[in-house]
Amino acid sequence: MAAGYPVDTTQRGAYYRDLGDAALVTAFADGPAAYEPATWEAIADEISARRKRFSHSSTDQQSADSQQLFPDTQLQSLRDEMVALREAAEGRSRVGIGFVVVGVGVTFGSFLVAPGTGFVVIAWGVVVAGIIRIARASNAHERAKNAIEAIDSASATLSA
């Protein structure tokens, strides 16, 4: 999380409106993963507003400055990064499911052979590790999905 932004979501828009261009570009370059969704939305809204101000100005230099400060390729690059993070989270989730399946399988298998040996293995650690991995992957997937939606929203706003 970026330090120094207001915790109250109603003040975030004002906070980012007061930032200079360089600080706003830095916040934008950090990407949506570095911020809560409401904060990222405030950053994207402010970038959109500044680009519109620049593009409606009378000089070509200001419009060129706007494109240099907030290039569309940067949005696409951030979106690609978030898609990669989402796919990585899906992979981690599949591994977690594998852990759970192996743990349940080992436990079930030991119960099947237990009458002959009298020895039972309860693989609860593998199951718990799998559940934790699934939960973390689900959280990362949701954050990446929200970031992609915010980027798409910002991109649509900027191109309008």
- Please identify, among 26, 50, 70, the residue that sits at the C-terminal boundary of a domain: 70
Do 29 and 105 fall within a single domain? Answer: no
What is the DSSP code (8-state) at residue 7?
S
Q: Are residues 85 and 147 in the same domain?
A: yes
Handedness of CA 27, 33, 36, 39 (dihedral sign): positive
What is the pLDDT averaged over residues 89-98? 96
Q: What is the pLDDT of residues 28-78, one digit of tens each?
A: 777 777 777 777 777 777 777 777 666 555 454 444 444 455 566 777 777
- For 19-81, the DSSP string reads S-HHHHHHHHHH-GGGS-HHHHHHHHHHHHHHHHHHHTSS-HHHHHHHHHHS-HHHHHHHHHH
Final residue in a domain of this structure, among 27, 51, 70: 70
Q: Which of 68, 71, 86, 58 is nearest to 148 (CA)?
A: 86
Residue at a domain's end among 25, 44, 70: 70
Task: Give the range among 17-21, 127-131, 133-137, 139-143 with minimum mean pLDDT.
Answer: 17-21
**84 and 155 part of one domain:** yes
Q: What is the rounded average pLDDT of the residues 13-35?
A: 73
* Rounded Cα–Cα distance for residues 89 and 128 (Å): 18
Shortest CA distance to 39 belongs to which of 2, 86, 81, 93? 2
Boundaries of domain holding 157: 71-160
